[in-house]
Amino acid sequence: MVVRAIIKEDRYGNRVYICPLCGHVFYSPKQFQRHLMKSHLHKRHRKKRIAKKIEKRGYIRRLSFGRPKTPKVKPSEPKPAETAKPKAEVKPVEAKPVEKPAETKEESNELLKAVEKFIENRAKGKKKKSIRFKITTLARELNIDVDKARELVAKIPNASIKGDRVTVKLE
């Protein structure tokens, strides 16, 4: 069923959409469409008589009731076995562990200082006894993976880890 709104202009020059079924006035086509779907089109089987009247008046262009008829499709013939491609054999591939280069003490100290600086920046201007943050936030700030960030936080005194949250008690 296709229902067209009656479009007029009000005294201010705005477009007004009027529902041909009930006469409600709307100022946007979206409001009109929502009203149409909620109020009139969800109970199509009850509105047959009303829809026929409206169709005669010319407000509706097309009217359909019931399920749309689907054309019958003939089953296609299966391909002969000669033309079908043989399935390729899948061989399991063993995953090789990725070897990470060993970190030096200097690099780990630099990262630890970066973590402490991150905590100082978080605590700056706050008069609290402790601060909380997520490990993922720390990892994103320092451009490191989450496991490495968790290891670094574990080395900091007065820090406790619960799940993804870190609580650091300030002195």
Beta bridge partners of 88: none
Task: Give me the pLDDT at residue 45, please.
Answer: 53
Let me know: does 1 contact 55? Beta carbons within 8 Å.
no
**Which tens digit of pLDDT belongs to each residue from 75-116?**
666 555 555 566 667 677 676 666 666 567 788 888 888 888
Distance CA 132, CA 166 (A): 6
- pTM across the whole model: 0.40
Q: In 3D, which of 52, 55, 26 has the Cα closest to residue 39? A: 26
Residue 8 confidence (pLDDT) above 60: yes
**Structural domains of the chain sorted by starting position, each given as residue range(s) with its CATH number in brackets:** 6-57 (no CATH), 105-169 (1.10.10)
Is the model's pLDDT at 25 over the cut of 90?
Answer: yes
pLDDT of residue 68: 53
| 3 state SS for 49-100 | HHHHHHHHHCCECCCCCCCCCCCCCCCCCCCCCCCCCCCCCCCCCCCCCCCC
Write out pLDDT tens, residues 41-80: 665 555 566 667 666 666 555 444 445 556 666 666 655 5
User: Which comes out higher in pLDDT, residue 125 or 130?
Assistant: 130
CA angle 76, 82, 85 (to 5 degrees): 85
151 token code pair: 């290891």
pLDDT at 168 over 60: yes
